[in-house]
Structure 1
């Protein structure tokens, strides 16, 4: 049974990866596309989303591990390039946006929230701008 479960998780991960890769092909804003892909996955593949991100099967060692993964360090560099923030502040922005995106996705996956893509896009853009602005203010105060 353990082998079957492992194969199921790997298959779910493959489907998830396709959503993220498709989102990152957005020429205007790959980071926004990544978030939209994550939320689209939660909306269209609710059970796979829950399996990967809402059970004990996919434990992370915390947010620090998430941003330290090689793949996500590339995303942090992209955020730095887009925002003009240094890498440390870009990591903080990544965490803030990831928590926001995961919250929206989780609520959609559990049918607690229904938003269309335009609404989600506005929320993510506004959150990005707000978090970025706050990080820049904190930098100026130092």
Structure 2
């Protein structure tokens, strides 16, 4: 009769998560996990069906932590809080952010894009239904707004995660998101007037994109 392992699957997942969180996904191997547990590699393979299962569990744990950052009440404005939380996660949990969004590690999960889409996009769209400043917009317009804000927020998160720009305080991050959000909302509201203005029409023609003036919007369906 085989000896029962003193470690559970959760113990192994926690150890793997700790390694990824502190050192990066590339450092997480069966040998590294065994060292973290002060054990041999045998419990890893006896408690889990495969390393792929372990990887999936670590990804889920990282995504759950991201969600906790995004749902933390900071300003009382749900949209602003989610943007701040996303960027603070990128700043604070550098290795986890890179695993989720900046490396090939997520590729093995098969549906990380779907998970992120299901939570962030669909959950936000649902919450936007009660957001008074956007009541005049259709669901498609709201999705375009979210996608534009996602491009800005993710870009800022990546810059901070990699220390490409100077560090920003939470207040500075909030002000940047708010300022950009105001312009995005106003741009969506006034796009018909903007795209038919002589200055914009001339700019589009010179740039080789006159068709944008006819569409009066760029398709921002990113997910």
Decide: shared fold, TM above 0.5: yes
Shift of 1:86: 2.2
Structure 1 position 8 matched with structure 2 position 96 = no
Task: Give the alignment partner of residue 55 of structure 1, picking from 103, 123, 132.
Answer: 103
Which digits, 9 at most, give the CA deviation of each residue in 1:95-136, with x for residues without a partner? Answer: 011111101111111111211111111110111100111101
Give the TM-score of the pair, scaled to structure 2.
Answer: 0.54
Structure 1 position 106 matched with structure 2 position 167 = no
Shift of 1:21: 1.9
- Within 5 Å, which residues of 2 pair with 1:123-142? 123-139=176-192
The alignment's C-alpha RMSD in Å is 2.4
SS of equivalent to 1:112? coil
Give the TM-score of the pair, scaled to structure 1.
Answer: 0.81
- Within 5 Å, which residues of 2 pair with 1:66-81? 66=117, 69=118, 72-79=121-128, 81=131
Show structure 1 runs of 4+ deviating over 4 A.
139-142
Higher relative contact order (CA 8 A, sep 6+): 1
| C-alpha separation in 1, matches of 2:143 and 2:133 | 12
Q: Specify the alignment match of 1:39 in structure 2.
A: 87
Structure 1 position 30 matched with structure 2 position 78 = yes
SS of equivalent to 1:60? helix
Task: Give the alignment partner of residue 140 of structure 2, picking from 88, 110, 135.
Answer: 88
| C-alpha separation in 1, matches of 2:65 and 2:123 | 21
Which digits, 9 at most, give the CA deviation of each residue in 1:16-62, with x for residues without a partner? Answer: 1211121xx3563110000000011111100000001112315537x
When you count helix as a share of all residues, which structure comes out higher? Answer: 1
Higher mean alpha-carbon deviation, 111-120 vs 69-78, is at 69-78
SS of equivalent to 2:100? helix
Q: Which has the larger radius of gyration?
A: 2
| C-alpha separation in 1, matches of 2:119 and 2:156 | 25
